[in-house]
Chain A
Amino acid sequence: DADVTQTPRNRITKTGKRIMLECSQTKGHDRMYWYRQDPGLGLRLIYYSFDVKDINKGEISDGYSVSRQAQAKFSLSLESAIPNQTALYFCATSDPRGSTGELFFGEGSRLTVL
C-alpha cells in the first residue's frame, strides 16, 4: 500500500460544485502539503501544514481551503469549482527530523471542472 494515499484519483465535476480531495499518510510525518500541476508546468504550492494546529497559505491559495483533521489526514476543498482549477493535484509529506528533508508525494488526483 502507498504511504501517501490520495482520493479520488480522478474526478470530473461541474462549475460551481464543491469538491474535496483527501490525503492520508502512514509515514507518521508532521508536515503535509498540497500542490497543483498544470500541463507542461512544474508544481505550485497551494497550502501546507507543519502540524495539526498549523495551516499556511502557499503561492496559489485563492479559491481553495484545507483542513488538517489529524496528523495523518490533510484535505483540500474547492468551495465552488471553476474550469481553471482543472489540474493534477498532489499531496506530499515530510519529516523535519529526516536526514534528507525530502518530500514524499502521493500518486495525484486529476480534477476536471467542466
Chain B
Amino acid sequence: DAKTTQPPSMDCAEGRAANLPCNHSTISGNEYVYWYRQIHSQGPQYIIHGLKNNETNEMASLIITEDRKSSTLILPHATLRDTAVYYCIVRVVSWGKLQFGAGTQVVVTP
C-alpha cells in the first residue's frame, strides 16, 4: 500500500471549515483514499473514501487532485466533537487491511 504524509497537528475554530491535507504521491491506480478518525483512544471510525472523483457524505467532503497524488478532507462546520486524530490511508479495497500512519491531531476550539 502507498504511504501517506499528513501534518502532525492543526487547530480549527468551531463553526469554521477544517481542511485536512494528505499527500500520497506513490498511489497506484487501483488504490482508494480512505479517511478515518479516532476520538480519544476509541476505535477508529470510517469517514469517507474515494478513488478519483470528489466525494461528499453527511460527515465530510473529500477532494482528490486530478493526478491523485494528494487529497483534502473537508469538515464543513467543525464542532468540538470533531476533535480527534484523522488518518489518511490508501489501500486496495479487496485487500481489506488498513495501514495506519501517525495521522493529524485536529483540535477544534470554541
Contact = CB atoms under 8 A, between A and B. Distances in A.
A67 B34 CA distance: 29
Contact of B97 (A48, A88, A104, A105): A48
Given A100-B49, A101-B32, A101-B49, A43 B96 contact: no
Main secondary structure of the interface of A (DSSP, over half): strand
A22 interface: no
A106 B43 CA distance: 6
A44 B43 contact: no
B42 A108 contact: yes
Given A42-B102, A100-B49, A108 B97 contact: no
Nearest to A4: B43
B63 to A, nearest CB: 18
A100 B46 CA distance: 9
B41 A88 contact: yes
Interface residues of B, number: 21
Interface in A4-29: 4
B98 interface: yes
A48 B97 CA distance: 8
Contacts of A90: 43-44
A103 B99 contact: no
A26 to B, nearest CB: 15
Nearest to A93: B96
Interface string B76-110: 00000000000100010110111111110000000
Contacts of A31: 96
